[in-house]
Chains A and B, each alone.
Chain A
Amino acid sequence: MRNQEFLDRVGQLLDSQRVGVLATHYRNRPHQSLIAYIHSESLQDIFFVTPGYTRKVEAMTADPCVALLVDNRQNVESDFDACIAITAKGMVEELAPDPRPSFLSRYLKKHPYLEEFVFSPSCRYFRIRVQSYTLVSSFQRVEELVLE
């Protein structure tokens, strides 16, 4: 698959889903959480919002290396051939709350019901700088692209 075709499929999948599974680790123990995300057009960045006192923030503060799994499974038999899953791996960084990060307006377009949550003073803003995407399709086809 060519780069652009690969990236198009990644972009389509990220567009089609609202939440993904964020994998972190802390003190040698794995931790996963569901997050509502958006991605940049270039696919180099993925943004999300979470309260500052959660386990994932504690883990990301200790080690910013994270992975995000997004898939379109529907819990039916055909998932085995039709489901696509991507894993974005990269480094996470916190964004300053003031001035409000520019991704928020797009974030609220995708998740308008989260307005109260997003603007709560308890929430913090994060960006994953994606280093690579792994794409799994047709049950066992696995492809990977390292971003520049």
Chain B
Amino acid sequence: MTLCLDLREIQSEHAPQTGGKASSLARLLQHDFHVPQGLCILTGAYRLFVDTTPLGERIRLELSRKEFRHMRWEELWDAALRIRNLFSRTAFPPEMEGVIADRIEQSIGGRPAAVRSSAIGEDSGQLSFAGLHESVLNVTGTSHILEQVKKVWASLWSDAALLYRQELGLAVEQSAMAVLVQQFVPGDVSGVIFSQSPLDPEVAVLEAVSGLAQGLVDGSVEPERWEIERHNARIHSHRSPLENRRVVAVSGGTRIVEDQGGRGESLLSNQQIQEVYTAALEAERLFGSPQDVEWTFGPAGLQILQSRPVTIKKQDRDEKRVWSLSLRRSYENLKELRVKIEGLILPGMEEAADELSWSSPGESSDRELAGQLEQRQAALDRWTDVYWSDLIPFAHGMRLFGQVYNDAVGPEDPFAFVALLRRDRLESVERNRLIRQMADHIRSRPQLRDRLLDQPLSHCDDGELLSLLEIYGLRYGNLLGLQADRNRLEEYLRALLLEMSDPERSLNVEQQPEDREEMEKQYLAGFREEDREHARELLELGRASYRIRDDDNIYLDRFKGLVREAEEVARERLRGRGTRGVDQLPGEELIEALRDPAYRPQPLVEQVEQAAPSEVDARQLLGQPASHGIATGRARVIRKPEELFGLQKGEVLVCDAIDPAMTFVAPLAAAIVERRGGMLIHGAIIAREYGIPCVTGIPQATERIANGDRLTVDGYLGIVAIDSRN
């Protein structure tokens, strides 16, 4: 079986085994274009690798955990990361490795190489799939190149590719990917040219960036741009470079650095522009259609890196998918985002919340209260938008670090890196610690505890407890920002503190991650000396991402609490006026009624959707193993936030989605089961902090499990077994 072909050996009939990219490059090379030497590892090699190792079945098992249509973006990320790890950890069958290694030696020798995907159908059709699969630049040494080949293969199952699984026709049994291994060209200036603009058939469009083309392809460097008239090859328009940055190669990848060259100087001479334009026209003639050509000027002059037909990108109408794809951020982008979040967004949220807290709804007139409610709702809406546009995408920092960590260390557990991120104190853990402090205080004073059994918290005469309660109130506001009157909230807190201070029961405590220093050393050892600083920066970014992922919700919850506080006062007043159905009225109706005493809002008729009755009983549910451990306990199903206060020590918390505000019950729970899926969501994070098992991504968890059911939660395999029904 032929596993590899040199670019010079590839013929048109090989296309199904080489993919479009390799096929085009081979044709260009055979027509005397300057194309970097190299070889194509054929799709058959991928199939052989997957079919002769346990990988094929393991990918199938991974993808069958949950139906695709039920998978959230985070779950797709997680699945892709696990598959990537499976590829990395699966050894080549020795004979196959020998054959491919020999061919790489012959073709590349000891020179640095570029390892790029050449997927079947990648560049055809109306949707362009460019960027879904991985390419790795500047890899030296045959064994390293072979490792990168596995990563490029794994990118057949990248999270982005999984989003387009239907269009790509992804199927474990049939899908395959070819890989190009070419000599790497350390380009000084690089770019792309459209031999014919998709928007104006009279011109060609040339874009160039300093350094490697990567910066242009992923959008991290703004290019210099020319339009060239096709009928006379004259420059029709020109836009100067906007920034002085360039993408350079570092070991196993690329980085953006400040360019040393003069600002504002053109990157290409007129002669070079004509040279690139001529090459693009020749490629257009060769392939018989306008071409989108990637090129670079290296030590040996102009080299063509890729040529594919110009396609008009069809707008993807799947908004959810477009949004999910927008979450994939580069290191540079995340670094800038972090500065914005830490310097502007979080302080801005704090300041805005402080400012809004100055007004006291209880002491305001109806008209003033309406204004406060409006202001608070507007602030909540605004910061919720910021949460989605900036804070959620920043979570990608954790994943970016996870991938880099897995590449450097090759751990058995693809999520082992999370232990390294747990360094800084999370706001939610700090808040939980304060609750714990109150509980410990009560526990150490049995008489106080006895009194609290039938006395409200605020009536107690214990100065220390009262001052802790005050600190708590000032720092975190009401528990959960619940929509309930103060007395009821106090009751909830009292019940929680009594449960937590029960001398018969021990509480879960935060776990100290083991060997973190050792892990960090091991991680850094995976890099060359000159790349370690960058590795440290990535770790730092990952840690910030982990911390902010949790803290941002606490910040946002302050606004929710402020809105609820004002709404509660408004409802109280309207109730006093005899307005009906006050509890169901939305905020805008409350505002209207406060401003206009004559306004009579129509009470809402609640539409309750009746689910079709089912007699099929779930016995064992499959989700994601998000925190290791096994625990058995009675289920406490949470449908409303206030039900959290009923949780008793040793029960299994079953809920739709945990947010950090809810995590104060983690010291009591035996395990956590969550409908929302993901390895890095709040439920999973907090479970790991407290060392309790957690399974996430159980569809309809709160419907399929009933209060009191006896559950075994297997946080190793992601299984929730319903041992017996209540």
Is A115 located at the chain interface by the 8 A CB criterion?
yes
- Residues of A within 8 Å of B719, CB to CB, are 51, 122
Provide a sorted-by-A list of 28 A–B residue pairs whose CB atoms are within 8 angstroms: A51-B714, A51-B719, A51-B721, A53-B630, A53-B632, A53-B712, A53-B714, A53-B723, A54-B620, A54-B721, A55-B619, A112-B53, A112-B54, A113-B54, A113-B57, A113-B58, A113-B61, A115-B54, A116-B717, A120-B714, A120-B716, A121-B628, A121-B630, A121-B716, A122-B714, A122-B717, A122-B719, A123-B717
Using A53-B712, A53-B714 as known contacts, list a sample of 10 further A-B pairs with CB atoms less than 8 Å apart, ordered by residue number in A: A51-B719, A52-B630, A54-B620, A55-B619, A113-B54, A120-B714, A121-B628, A121-B716, A122-B716, A122-B719
Q: Which residues of A contact B632 (CB under 8 A)?
A: 53
Q: Bound state CA distance, A121 and B61, in angstroms?
A: 19
CB distance from B553 to the nearest CB of A (A): 31
Bound CA span A123–B58, Å: 18
**A117 contacts B by Cβ under 8 Å:** yes
**B722 CB, min distance to chain A CBs, angstroms:** 10
Given contacts A121-B630, A122-B630, contact A51 B717 (CB under 8 A): yes
Indicate the size class of the contact surface on chain A.
10 to 19
A54-82, CB < 8 A from B? 54-55
Which residues of chain A from 74 to 121 have any CB-CB distance to chain B below 8 Å in the complex?
Answer: 112-113, 115-117, 120-121
The chain B residues found within 8 Å of chain A, CB to CB, are: 53-54, 57-58, 61, 619-620, 628, 630, 632, 712, 714, 716-717, 719, 721, 723
Note all chain B residues with C-beta closer than 8 A to A52.
630
Using known A-B contacts A53-B712, A53-B723, A115-B54, determine if residue A120 contacts B61 with beta carbons closer than 8 Å.
no
Contact between chains at B717 and A117 (CB < 8 Å) = yes
Q: Interface 1/0s, chain A 112-143, versus B by CB < 8 A?
A: 11011100111100000000000000000000
CB distance from A107 to the nearest CB of B (A): 13
Smallest beta-carbon distance B260→chain A, Å: 49
Query: For the complex, what is the distance from the CA of A123 to the CA of B630, rounded to whole Å?
Result: 11
CB neighbours of A51 from chain B (8 A): 714, 717, 719, 721
Specify which chain A residues have a CB less than 8 angstroms from the CB of B714 in the assembled complex: 51, 53, 120, 122
Kindly provide the distance from the CB of B221 to the nearest chain A CB, expressed in whole angstroms. Answer: 41
Q: Which residues of B contact A123 (CB under 8 A)?
A: 717
What are the residues of chain B within 8 A of A116 when measuring CB–CB? 717
Nearest-neighbour CB distance to chain B for A104, whole angstroms, equals 15
Sorted from nearest, which 7 A-B pairs have the closest CB atoms?
A112-B54, A113-B57, A53-B712, A120-B716, A113-B54, A122-B714, A113-B58
Which residues in B have their C-beta under 8 angstroms from that of A122? 630, 714, 716-717, 719
Contact partners of A54 in chain B: CB under 8 A: 620, 721
Residues of A within 8 A of B619 (CB): 55
Q: Which residues of B contact A115 (CB under 8 A)?
A: 54
Closest to A58 in B: B723
| Distance of A120 Cα from B629 Cα, bound (Å) | 10
**CA A123 – CA B719 in complex, angstroms?**
12
How distant is A24 from chain B, measured CB to nearest CB, in Å? Answer: 15
Query: Which B residues lie within 8 Å of A117 (CB)?
Result: 717
Please name all residues of chain A whose beta carbon is closer than 8 Å to the beta carbon of B628 when the two chains form the complex. Answer: 121
Tell me the bound Cα distance from A145 to B53 in angstroms.
37
Q: Is the CB of A120 within 8 A of B54?
A: no
A26 to chain B, nearest CB (A): 12
**Bound Cα distance A121, B717 (Å):** 9
CA distance A115 to B630 in the complex (A): 19
B54 touches A53 (CB 8 A): no
B56 and chain A: residue at smallest CB distance: A113
